[in-house]
Amino acid sequence: MDPKYYRFTIVHHGYSLVIRLNDVIIDTDPQGVFRNRNFINNQYILDGKNTLTIEIGLAGDLPKDLTLQCTVQELTETDIQNNATPKPVLVLEFPGKQAPSFPAQISGEFKVESPFGRWQWEDAETLEMTPEAAADLTGVIEKLHQALSSKDLASMRSIVDVKTREMAKAFYVDPAERLKDQEKFFSDIFSDSQFGMEPLKTDDLDIVPMARNRLFLVRHKGGGVALESKELSEGYNFSLPVIAAKVSGKWSVVR
């Protein structure tokens, strides 16, 4: 099957937004600043029916223009090269014919023949986040933090192997090439004289269930990413978002 890319375009005038594809958070805009935004997201596209939901709130005063529109387009590589705008597979609009009230939610469905096959997280266990499950998942974060802190590339790679391979598949990259690029990236930041991980505080970890309790986003309360380095010599912090699933009895970082 030829490569396909799924572009999401959202135009609004100051709403706070949470955008979920198949009940997975793919974008957030809590301050309402990304008012004309488009991005490609392949990694949560399913074969067959896909559901897109937008949670809408007020980031401040009520916008003078209340309209919001979201479109989803299926693009080929030629479409991208030619900056083409094919007919959307889904259009969502707010507020429609009803007087808006907040918080609000709009949703719709679209069907595609996915070129990606089946993701591992689709077969993950459906879990309630009990204290025991939270402790197991926190243990994965601790192991990943330790691997990064000790610059143990082999251990880090084993923990994120599913993520690495499936993200390669999502964007039509040879997994071997992606692993090679990953190794170079981490070799570069590990060799930075200022590299070091920020201390891991597990008491404020926030575990967000997604994909109907099959995927779990791990972040710090307030929305901070789970793992972050100290500032590197080039003036930026390396950060690693973590989305995990329990597949065949084992927790894996899958995104």
- DSSP sequence for 75-144: E-HHHHHTT--PPPSEEEEESTTSPP-SSEEEEEEEEE--SS---GGGGSPP----HHHHHHHHHHHHHH
Q: Report the pLDDT value the prediction gives residue 99, as an integer from 0 to 100.
A: 78
Q: Cα 250 to the chain's mean position, in Å?
A: 21
pLDDT (tens digit, 9 = 90+) per residue, 40-62?
999 999 999 999 999 999 999 99
pLDDT band at 97 (very low <50, low <70, confident <90, very high): confident
pLDDT (tens digit, 9 = 90+) per residue, 221-252?
988 999 999 999 999 999 999 999 999 999 99
81: exposed, middle or buried (C-beta count within 10 Å: 0-12, 13-18, 19+)? exposed
Residue with tokens 């709403």: 15
Start-to-end CA span in the chain (Å): 24
Model confidence at 98: pLDDT above 90: no
Model confidence at 114: pLDDT above 90: yes
pLDDT (mean) for 122-131: 95
Q: Is the pTM of this model over 0.95?
A: no
Are 133 and 207 contacting, i.e. CB atoms less than 8 angstroms apart?
no
For residue 37, the cross-strand partners are 10
CA distance 83 to 176: 30
159: exposed, middle or buried (C-beta count within 10 Å: 0-12, 13-18, 19+)? buried
Domain 121-253 classification at class level: alpha beta
CA distance 110 to 91: 9
For the chain, the domains span 5-112, 121-253
